[in-house]
Amino acid sequence: MITAKAELRGSDPILRIMNRLERQKYHHIGIHSAVKKCLWVHNALIYGRYCYKCKFYGIESHRCIQFTPSTLWCWNACLHCWRVRPQDLGLTYNDLTRLPYVDDPDILAEMAITEHRRTVSGYKDRAPRKLWEEAMDPKHVAISLTGEPTLYPRFGELLEAFHRRGITTFVVTRGIRPEILSSLSIEPTQLYVSIESWNKDMYEYFNRPLTSRGWGKTLETLSLLQTYSSPTVIRITLVKGFNMSPKDVKGFAKLLKDAEPTYIEAKAYMHVGGSTERLSRMNMPTLDEVMEFSKSLAEELGYSVVSYSAPSRVVLLSKLKNSVIRYGKGCPEGWKGGDEDAEALGEYSLPPSESV
């Protein structure tokens, strides 16, 4: 008898993509989901260096699961995407617009925790004992690994499943399913909408939507952010030579004015993975360039620059007058070191002789 998983994986090019992802240390879950150990889990356990989400929001990097309920399925083929783009290996619109099967959300949440523990189990004798024990008890999930998470039809139930297990949820979406985001039974702990474009022409060129409704859907998503009671974030991926000019600053300001996100993250494009075949290293801005853009955008919107992280080349803007919202206990000693002068040791470059 052919199982659903065998049937799905027995078709080409899906089989080739799944195999490639496994070689990249993805842990497949069920039919359409996956977990992968994040670079910052490794860095936290071995070097005591933490993700910017720790510095900004108190998320404990070593206790964060990197997960997707939609490994291959996405409605965009963005030029800067560093993951394996299914389109590059022959999948078509019909293959990518909807999941062929729907796994149970409770099973996915439980298996995501199990696979995270599997990815960190080997650090028992390499990391400080307390950190390793904490890593084996994850408290956060970043639903952002690859694909578009809101294509999973039972997305609200998935959030509930994680919350019941005491795990905070950080959802990153391209904003192409506003009907899902507006009808969730429970909100994620924090919602990110990731953008690179401020008008339709830019969007069609850079984000390569598989549907003609993509830009309109994105605008709908931005318009509903004010209805969320949980914090919202607009993450602008900055690509030098594409979206960092003074004109772009004003364009983004006009786009985001009515959305009023709690935070804006201006983050440098990183010249890694599959994106190196589509973009140049010259498209990767420095932290100083990201900071200059961020200050200009903050002035346009009336936001404040409240923090930054050199290793990830990201700057945090906020409309909050009080301190930044914290979700976890933070990292050891508040992560006082390892940030300044660390631009070359962040997401673009690993420490010498190390790999993940």
Query: Residue 338 pLDDT more than 60?
Result: no
Among 3.30.540.10, 3.40.50.2300, 3.20.20.70, 1.10.3720.10, name the CATH number for the domain at 4-345.
3.20.20.70
The mean per-residue pLDDT over the stretch 207-216 comes to 91
pLDDT of residue 258: 92
Q: CA-CA distance, 315 to 266, in Å (whole number)?
A: 5
Q: How confident is the model at residue 151 (pLDDT cuts 50, 70, 90)?
A: very high
Q: CA-CA distance, 132 to 44, in Å (whole number)?
A: 10
Within 8 A by CB and 6+ apart from 136, the residues are 117, 120, 121
Rounded to the nearest integer, the mean pLDDT of the chain is 87
pLDDT in tens, 282-313: 999 999 999 999 999 999 999 999 999 998 99
Angle of helix 155-164 relative to helix 105-120, nearest 10 degrees, comes to 50
pLDDT of residue 356: 31
pLDDT in tens, 27-82: 999 989 999 999 999 999 999 888 999 989 999 999 999 999 998 888 888 888 87
Q: Calculate Rg over the CA atoms of the chain.
A: 19
Please count the residues of the chain.
Answer: 356
Tokens for 268?
């440098």
Beta strands 33-35 and 263-268 are unpaired
Report the side by side order of strands in the sheet with 314-318: 27-29, 33-35, 64-68, 140-143, 168-173, 190-195, 232-238, 263-268, 314-318, 304-309
Query: Residue 353 pLDDT more than 50?
Result: no
Q: Are 66 and 169 in contact (CB under 8 A)?
A: no
What is the domain partition of the chain in residue ranges?
A: 4-345
The mean per-residue pLDDT over the stretch 179-204 comes to 97
Beta strands 263-268 and 314-318 are antiparallel
pLDDT of residue 150: 96
> What are the DSSP E strand ranges found in the chain?
27-29, 33-35, 64-68, 140-143, 168-173, 190-195, 232-238, 263-268, 304-309, 314-318
Backbone angles phi, psi at 265, to 5 degrees: -105, 120
